[in-house]
Amino acid sequence: MFKKILIANRGEIACRVMKSASEMGIRTVAVFSDADKRSLHVRRADEAVHIGPSQASESYLSIERILEAIRETGADAVHPGYGFLSENKDFAEALESEGVAFVGPPVAAIEAMGDKITSKKLAKDAGVPTVPGHLGLIESGDEAVQVANGIGFPVMIKASAGGGGKGMRIAWSENEVREGFQSSRSEAAGSFGDDRIFMEKFIDRPRHIEIQVLADKHGNCIFLNERECSIQRRNQKIIEEAPSPFLDEETRASMGAQAVALAKAADYHSVGTVEFIVDAERNFYFIEMNTRLQVEHPVTELITGVDIVAEMIGIAAGEKLKLEQKDVVAGGWAFESRIYAEDPYRNFLPSIGRLSRYRPPPEDVGGAASIRNDTGVIEGDEISIHYDPMIAKLCTWGEDREEAMDSMRKSLDSFEIEGIACNISFLSAVFDNPRFISGHITTSFIADEFPDGFCGVELPDQTLQRLVAAVAVFQVISETRRTQISGQLSNNARPVGREWNVSFDDKAFNVGVANSNKAYSASFDDGTRVIVETSWQPGQSLASISADDAELTLKVDPISGGFRIRHRGTDIRASVRAPRHAELGALMAKKMPSDMSKQLLCPMPGLLVSLQVSVGDEVESGQALCVIEAMKMENILKAERTARIKSISANPGDILTIDKVILEFE
């Protein structure tokens, strides 16, 4: 077995690999860039080596700098995690030349599976069903139209070396094929330095289901059941679960057998994932094989009890698999929610800053309704613009899907992140969505259910009334605390009002509060009454309450004149005033927002990569103005109308904050 493993990655996956390596008695080496010198993965490693500037291209993607770290520390193996160099054949070859073990598959398998055309041909030869299409290279728009007519519309135009949605277009007509071919080819060349294009049938509204395989160097290969990964946004998975609520045993066994057949055909050894799309009749088609550890591997670990990272390390060291296919037993249900530093209320734009509060729910792995949180940050850490925006992977396990889902809802309720925007509210909304609860999901779920983006959740009237009652109770508790001045006799304290007006979003409620010990009675104008029990005290950011016997966990933050309350996808800023104050407040003039229509504001924190205009230029609607890069994504900002550029306030290379003025129109 290896004595020392260098993890050529960062963040939560580096921490995850260190956990298994440590349990196996293997020392670990972290590598870090300037931005990561105080990161959690650096602190958890036995050794750490600085490898360069914050830009990934000059640090985590630099093969030579990783090799220098290996030579400096004497590591005898390298685990690449996922992303960065994990599927880079040149990196694997370089390690082989250095006599260092690569904790991953052989170079030939990386090369074969990394090319979509080659992998599909290999799958077809192995008898694995593939999406009907044309696997040859397409050289012109005319040829693309001819191929599309042969396949049948709609078709998917794809870059052979593509990934992450780049170089990919859906075409429903000949005109769209011509346009899509040219744009896909151009985008592929710019993103991957490879403009090869192929085409396949577009399967409308499929499910995305993948099979986890393990293969050793002795010819043994097994599969660890499936994961459902259909909840996606812009081809990026957000929520995964295992098993799939859609597959039956016959389809599961067939998909698993096909995945194993493909791995053997590729002479594969290591951990890998074979991805399929599945139609409404459970017909499945091979998409690609990921020759690395997947982000969503924890859900498979939770239902099988297999430490996939430990198995991966053992395989690289030449060990035989500890399991045969008959030994694989899946039990219960597991979910994974990817928690990202992004603002769901601003079209999921990236968010950066310091984690002023980072308090995940306590982990409890092994008991009923287990909770697991794979993360690479702690409170006080900085989320930068340089890397992927994922903060954590929150996972729950239960005896069945309903129990695992309920555990996830409660865990999201109590997961506190402040200082940056995050997508917890959106995840909560998905887990409360009736269609998601039913399991009738496809890859178009988010587009179908949130066609206008995410604007928060409209809570049921009863739940909303309970939140209003809770706000009124919090006000009474806070006011009572304010009267308790040190050394002052309680009978001299000023009386606390019992009638309050709670208002938000043009809604207003008059609430009367009476209390006895920890139970409060909140009365409304329509005669309804809500009994609230809570031990919450001012200063606490989480409140567990019982409202008419419904157990709720609320995120509570004081704001000027009231409270900010977050719960299950809703975000309320409630003003709480005495009735007379509310009456007078209604007569006050409202402040009108500033007119920003003549300014281009930066929608996210990021790097200004380029400006396409100069002062005095006249621009048309839809014309590109500049490019902003944040967290591995490039965003092109375009003109919304015809106008002339009056002034420019930023230069390429500047790091911009959110709402920073980039330029002004006349």
Q: Give the whole-angstrom CA distance, residue 216 versus residue 371.
A: 30
Q: Within 10 Å of residue 519's Cβ, how many Cβ atoms?
A: 13
Residue with tokens 């030939």: 108
Q: Give the whole-angstrom CA distance, residue 353 versus residue 401.
A: 35
Contact, 42 vs 69, CB < 8 A?
A: no
Q: List the one residue out of 193, 200, 76 whose CA is nearest residue 144.
A: 200
Cα–Cα distances in Å, from 337 out to 288, 298, 304, 395, 604?
A: 23, 11, 19, 6, 23
Report the C-alpha dihedral over residues 586, 591, 597, 599, rounded to 10 degrees. Answer: -150
Please, which residues have CB within 8 angstroms of residue 110's CB and are 6 or more apart in sequence? 87, 88, 89, 92, 104, 291
Residue 174 annotated to the active site: no
Please, which residues have CB within 8 angstroms of residue 19's CB and are 6 or more apart in sequence? 309
Q: Give the whole-angstrom CA distance, residue 391 versus residue 388.
A: 9
Please, which residues have CB within 8 angstroms of residue 111's CB and are 6 or more apart in sequence? 89, 118
Q: Name the burial class of residue 159, with classes exposed (0-12), middle (13-18) and buried (19+) by CB atoms within 10 angstroms of its CB.
A: buried
Cα–Cα distances in Å, from 611 out to 132, 607, 652, 664?
A: 42, 11, 7, 13
Residue of 12, 187, 240, 288 with catalytic role: 288
Contact, 63 vs 83, CB < 8 A?
A: no
Cα 147 → chain centroid: 36
Contact, 162 vs 168, CB < 8 A?
A: yes
Q: Name the burial class of residue 47, with classes exposed (0-12), middle (13-18) and buried (19+) by CB atoms within 10 angstroms of its CB.
A: middle
Contact, 171 vs 199, CB < 8 A?
A: no
Contact, 417 vs 356, CB < 8 A?
A: no
Contact, 336 vs 411, CB < 8 A?
A: no
Angle, CA 559 vertex, CA 558 and CA 563 arms, to 5°: 60
Contact, 602 vs 631, CB < 8 A?
A: no
Q: List the one residue out of 502, 418, 500 whose CA is nearest residue 467.
A: 502
Three-state DSSP class for residue 302: helix
547-550's contacts with Cβ under 8 Å and 24+ in sequence apart are 547/466, 547/469, 547/470, 548/466, 550/463, 550/466
Give the CA count within 13 Å in the CB-facing half-sphere of 77.
24
Please, which residues have CB within 8 angstroms of residue 593's CB and are 6 or more apart in sequence? none
Q: Give the whole-angstrom CA distance, residue 325 versus residue 68.
A: 40
Give the tokens for residue 596. 């920003």
Contact, 420 vs 352, CB < 8 A?
A: yes
For the annotated catalytic residues, the residue numbers are 288
